[in-house]
Structure 1
């Protein structure tokens, strides 16, 4: 029992060391890791040496600074390649980004956050970094709103207390009353939008992805700079594209539509 506890503690400490590299600093000194983890210097040095031998971190030969190694990339690649949503959505999202020139993103819900499974950027929406693996708030994104449609109002309040509905810009929805109204509209028309709710100058259109049981398991979005997405002119066009893409992925996951009928791919705003 004592041995098991010691092994568990060693694993937890190693994970704590790896997690410090998620905070935005790509390279760290041993003293930085000590300060951020609260571990002792000798323990930290020993853990970094072990992680380096396993290629989870690597050390610059000149500066002596540590950064993440190649092993996490290998693990991440294996994980996404075995994810059924990623397998069904990857090629479709890539083609969508190329055709529209905008970003195409797919995410799932992990607890109270969304988790990006993949993203591609078109020539009109370039990024210098990838979104895959990042986590974002559910209430401030189009993808997150789609994922919240899988929960009841009570479940949403339990998952995200109102004081956790942080405002990132003046446009962010910061009360459940506001969020409920927004989600009612999103559910009725089959897609969600986000305009500068998480970051200034960005907007998106997103649609939910369902599995064979009809449960919402992921969402796909089309995103980019506010002026390029231009929802005031292109909402119907982009909503249709997002819904059709989500439908294709859903069919690949075994979804055949609600019992007694099929779901229209035409956004509500376009119906006459």
Structure 2
């Protein structure tokens, strides 16, 4: 595997080894890592041994399989605690999930995907996994639609073809453009079974001191718990209030002081 110009090959290879664990399997053999990374098995084995010494991976003493190590949890915790949106949103999102019994999620845009900064589960929307650090498509999620408010050329970002995850997913840019303009007008986005069947959410944009959309927050859960036919107005008001509170914490002073991104 040739290193790109200006990069350190050893660091690049180590990152590729760690990336093998992002495919969904918790524990891997050396041969699995070698296959994913395109490295020779002996090279993969040496890199894993080095990463084990600094606790970036750990090896099960019985099975001999490798899994990600505790040092990465420490690094992830430091990174997310230093993020200004996470600092402002964490407690507010946690309180929202507790009060409503639904999921509360905060995410920003990373390239053509949304990237979760934190999530909390209420009693009506339990999860057996953590969303933090995971990614989802912009066009098929409530937060993603809010984040697209700050993207002038959505077609250039997302490509010509929009993948349909369910029959409800926006499949054309004309359709997506109409949805994003509706979000701009009403101040919040909805998503009903567009990414996964049986799920829905309501989201609102988070603004920085310049009035730019830097993140979004959503309330999510099963269709029966969200009950948007009866509760859309109530839930939209709650999520907008929390988004506005986070925006204020980030320095946003309103449309009088900065360009408005929310009508």
What TM-score, normalized to structure 1? 0.92
Do structure 1's residue 222 and structure 2's residue 219 form an aligned pair? yes
Residue in structure 2 matched with residue 113 of structure 1 by the alignment? 113
Contact 2:211–2:259, Cα closer than 8 Å, also in 1 = no
What TM-score, normalized to structure 2? 0.95
Question: RMSD of the TM alignment (CA)?
Answer: 1.9
Q: Which of 175, 185, 208 is residue 178 of structure 1 equivalent to?
A: 175
SS of aligned partner of 2:8: helix
Q: Deviations over 1:203-228 (max 9, x none)?
A: 00000000000000000000001111
Contact 1:206–1:239, Cα closer than 8 Å, also in 2 = yes
Q: CA deviation at 1:143?
A: 0.4
Contact 2:102–2:219, Cα closer than 8 Å, also in 1 = yes
SS of aligned partner of 2:230: helix
Q: Compared with structure 1, are the counterparts of its residues 262 and 112 closer, same or farther at alpha carbon in structure 2 (3 Å cutoff)?
A: closer
Residue in structure 1 matched with residue 31 of structure 2 by the alignment? 31
Q: 1:216 and 1:262 mapped to 2: Cα distance?
A: 11
> Is there any run of 5+ residues in structure 1 with no aligned partner, and where?
none
Do structure 1's residue 238 and structure 2's residue 235 form an aligned pair? yes
SS of aligned partner of 2:150: coil
Residue in structure 2 matched with residue 158 of structure 1 by the alignment? 156
Residue in structure 1 matched with residue 130 of structure 2 by the alignment? 130
SS of aligned partner of 1:118: strand
Q: CA deviation at 1:88?
A: 0.4
Alignment of 1:27-176 (within 5 A): 27-152=27-152, 155-163=153-161, 165-176=162-173
Residue in structure 2 matched with residue 248 of structure 1 by the alignment? 245
Q: 1:33 and 1:58 mapped to 2: Cα distance?
A: 14
Q: CA deviation at 1:23?
A: 0.5
SS of aligned partner of 2:170: coil
Q: Deviations over 1:154-195 (max 9, x none)?
A: x211111122x1111110011100000111111100000000
Q: CA deviation at 1:37?
A: 1.3
> Is there any run of 5+ residues in structure 2 with no aligned partner, and where?
none
Q: 1:156 and 1:7 mapped to 2: Cα distance?
A: 31
Q: 1:72 and 1:261 mapped to 2: Cα distance?
A: 38
Do structure 1's residue 201 and structure 2's residue 162 form an aligned pair? no
Q: 1:44 and 1:60 mapped to 2: Cα distance?
A: 17
Q: CA deviation at 1:71?
A: 1.1
Contact 2:209–2:258, Cα closer than 8 Å, also in 1 = no
